[in-house]
Structures are given as structure tokens and as C-alpha cells.
A and B are shown apart, each in its own frame.
Chain A
Amino acid sequence: MSERATVRETPAAADAARRLQRKDLVGIAELSPEEIQLVLDTAEAMKEIGERPIKKVPTLRGRTVVNLFFEPSTRTRTSFEVAEKRLSADSLNIAAATSSVLKGETLIDTARNLEAMAPDLIVLRHPSSGASHLLARTCRAGVINAGDGLHEHPTQALLDAFTIRARKGRLAGLKVAIIGDLVHSRVLRSNVSLLRKLGADVWIAGPATLLPPGVEQFGVRWTTSVDEAIEGADVLMMLRIQLERMRGGFLPSLREYFTIFGLTVERLRRAASDVIIMHPGPMNRGVEIASDVADGPHSVILDQVANGVAVRMAVLYLLAGGVDHEATA
């Protein structure tokens, strides 16, 4: 590196200064591998803030973030909320159950009304696929997708990647098996997209009734044999059986599902000796995963929760830095 950087008083100015070249985070599909690495690298620094006695920095002081949730969520919403507070942003929670959505207001009208309060970012969780796209196109504020229907859940995939990287030091070349309810999972879609961009060997496994249509085009290996997917795997991601999204006979019974597809100590023996087990939560113990595995030494499920805050801080920081409004200029 013979290029001479102009060193002013701020040392960081000498480093390559990068940022997300976008206003919104709607899905992993749009992100380049470099942007994904930037989020993960930034999350490293954010994680350290969570280890301090005073877990707060003034970075987003005076910025407003609206958490707009049209679906029940504890983990994701609280994770975003903690992330916003640690960055000193003002946050506002709107849950569909307590808002005028019940009175028949459309998503766009709700958003326009919120916009009148000049938020900098809107974090949206919505049951319809594509809701984040719609909002991103309509609003001046940046939109962060916190899960839209069966489409994407980008921050979950980012925190999963961060957790894998923290444990394994890399993603490229790892065998990652994603097992469970594949058809109803936005987490699957975001994770497949991210893991492939970063060069992991991705396998998906589940009952034939729960394989997503068009699975051949995912660019992953798929099987209905959980044992085959687990064989030699470095990472196992268990997906929740989403009973609330199932209308009709996807499964004969939950007990049968557990017998054939559930992750048990016996099945785990086929995996690599240093395998890590992940679950985006909330877990159905005794359905997709046995309790002794979920609480066992290979489980990193609670790391995922802690890392979720760091990754969401990184996303908030990187997007808020890009959206500066005329109003504040």
C-alpha cells in the first residue's frame, strides 16, 4: 500500500471509508459480499459496546427510529429496541394490535402519517411478502426489513453469519445444513442468499411437503434425509415448525416429525465434532430440536440473541449515516 493517505487529526479518515450504498435494507439478495462483510465488521465493534459498564454511545443522538410491527415479535423487536437505545436514537414502538391498522388504515397511510413526524429509519415487520419494498419506495426514511411474510429477514441472516464467523473464523467452505420448515421460512431465504454469497456449502433438508417450490433454483443441495444433511456438517440451523402458517396437512403429527426430522443427540453424532447448532427462535422443544441438544455444548442459540443486538446496531449505524435529511441540514 504505497498510496499515501492524508492523515488529518482523525485517524479513521486514513482508513478506507466505506458505507452501505443504499437507503434501505430490504433483503440480503440486493447486498454485495463486500457490503455484507462491512456489516459484519462493523458489528464486531458494536459488540464491544455491549461488554462495557456503560452500554451506550452517542452516535445516533437526535435520530428517530420507528419500530412498526404488524406481526407478533418479542425477540426481533426487543433486539432492535436495545440496539437503538445503545446508539442513543429515540425509538418509537408501534404494534399493529394497538394502532389504527385495526381501524382499517392501509400500510401506506400509516407510513405517511408516521413520516410526518420525520423519522430517520423505519423498522418494519409485516405478514405480507414485499411490504418492505413497498414502504421503501414510498418513504423518505430508510426502511429496515425485520421480516416480511415469506420473503426475507435480512438482519437474522446477518446475525447468523456473524455468529458463525465468530465461532469458525470464516464462512467459506463450511457445510451448513438448514433443517425444518423450509417453505414458510423467510429466515431460510435470507440465509441461503447470504451463505451462498460468502461461499458456504449450503444444504437444506425437511419433509417433502415443506420444501419450498423452485428449490432447484436455490443453488443449494436439498434432501429429505436429515441424516444426509447432518453428515459432516459444521453448522446446523434448525428452523421452527411454523404451525401458525400451516393451513392443511403438511405434517401427519408433530411427534412423527420429531422422530424423522428432529435434531437429537444420536443424529448429532454424524456432524463434525465441533459442529455448532443454531436456531432463530422461538424454539419448539421436542419438535424440531431435542431439549438436551438445545441446551447442550454445541448450541450457540443464546449467542445468536446477543449478537443480534450488535448486528442491528451496525445496520442502524450504517444506514442512518447515509440518510441525512434536508430537514436537519
Chain B
Amino acid sequence: MRREAVVPVVMDADRMSRSITRIAHEIVERNRGVDHLGLVGIRTRGVPIARRLAAALHAITGDEVPTGALDITLYRDDLMRHPVGPQPVVRRTEIPFSIDNRLILLVDDVLYTGRTIRAALDALIDFGRPRAIQLVALVDRGHRELPIKADYVGKNLPTSQRESVSVHLQEIDGRDEVTVERAEGTPAAGGPS
């Protein structure tokens, strides 16, 4: 299944990098520095974004912000609802610091229904009692199904529910860009890859 060119790129590498730098500045401004901050990226693509934010925060303040990775598979609300079909592979959660009394910046690539964030909040709370949790999303595409709102957004992207937003990152996909395309026939999520 080859899709020919015309896939609208809504964010290229330059814009992505500027967005991340801008979010880093907003984080420093809002929290008056980076003391007692911790970054937690949601697997898969939240993790490299969290690492880039850590690098940007380091460039601004000279301080290291501890960074972790969170796998939310075991907290999903749709896990056992499919009698047949694929099941996501569970990966390790790695948060190498105590989240107690820390301000946690939860990082994801696309904010959509809010269900992933709900699962991530439940998962985080099992690790301790953070002082607060703030949410970072590279793209907010709307259509929330839960009362969840991002604190820092790279780009607000009005979409229809029939469109699909794809974030590509150098670390995983070999390039930095965000694209939107209309999903025809709307295949089931996942699929072989």
C-alpha cells in the first residue's frame, strides 16, 4: 500500500525544534526554574520528546532534569475489550528517580481523546505522590473524551476525527515531521508494522 506524495506536512523539523525550545522556556518561566522537576515521556514517542526537552532545559538553565519513560499498556481502558485482534506489547516503565514531591512534566506526542493521559496519570500515581503533574503535548488535535487539558502545547491542530495525525521523530522514524492525512476506509488501529 503506497501512499503517493501529497501528505500534508503540518510541522517540519525546524518548527518542531523551535516548538520544543519554546515549551522549555515556558516550563522555566512558569515554574521559576527547574528545581524539583522531573520529565516522564509516555512510550513510544513521548520518550524522545521528553529527552529533547531535558536537553533544551539544560541549555537554558544548566541544570539536569531527570527523565523517565512510562508504558501505559497495563492501564489502558480498552485492553480487554477486544475478543480478538492484536494486543499491544507491554514494555518496561523506567523512572529512575523518586516522583514524590516532584513536579512531573508528563510528555506525549499527540493529545487526542485524553484516554492515554488518564491511563498515564493512574500509572504515575502508583509510583508515588508528585507535588503536581503538568502535561506537555507536541500536538493537540482536539476531540477530547475526558476532562483533560495540556499545559504546554507545541501546536494546536484542528482535525476531523476521520483524519490521522502522525508524528515522526528522528530517534525512531529517521526524520522529524508531523503529518495529517485523511484515513480512507479507516483501518483498524495498529495493523502489521
Contact = CB atoms under 8 A, between A and B. Distances in A.
Interface of A: 1, 3-19, 38, 41-42, 44-46, 48-49, 52-54, 56-60, 63, 87, 314, 317-318, 320-322, 324, 329
A18 B89 contact: yes
Interface stretch (B14-22, B25-33, B57-65, B107-115): B107-115
A11 B166 contact: no
Given A54-B126, A54-B127, 20 more contacts: A3-B193, A7-B165, A8-B110, A9-B108, A9-B110, A9-B112, A9-B113, A9-B115, A10-B116, A12-B89, A13-B189, A13-B190, A15-B193, A16-B192, A16-B193, A17-B87, A17-B88, A18-B89, A321-B79, A324-B83
B64 to A, nearest CB: 23
A207 B42 CA distance: 54
Interface residues of B, number: 52
Contacts of A54: 126-127
B43 A8 contact: no
B46 A11 contact: yes
Contact of B183 (A6, A9, A57): A6
Contacts of A317: 74, 90
A7 B45 contact: yes
Interface of B: 3, 42-46, 71-76, 79-84, 86-94, 108-116, 122-123, 126-128, 164-167, 183, 187, 189-193
A12 B88 contact: yes
Given A7-B164, A17-B87, A320-B80, A59 B189 contact: no
B78 to A, nearest CB: 8
Contacts of B44: 11-12, 14-15
* Main SS at interface, chain B: loop
Given A18-B87, A19-B86, A48-B92, A9 B81 contact: no
A322 B164 contact: no
B127 A52 contact: yes
A6 B189 contact: yes
Contacts of A19: 86-87
Given A12-B72, A16-B89, A48 B109 contact: no
Nearest to A62: B80
9 contacts: A3-B192, A3-B193, A4-B166, A5-B190, A6-B166, A9-B115, A41-B89, A53-B127, A324-B83
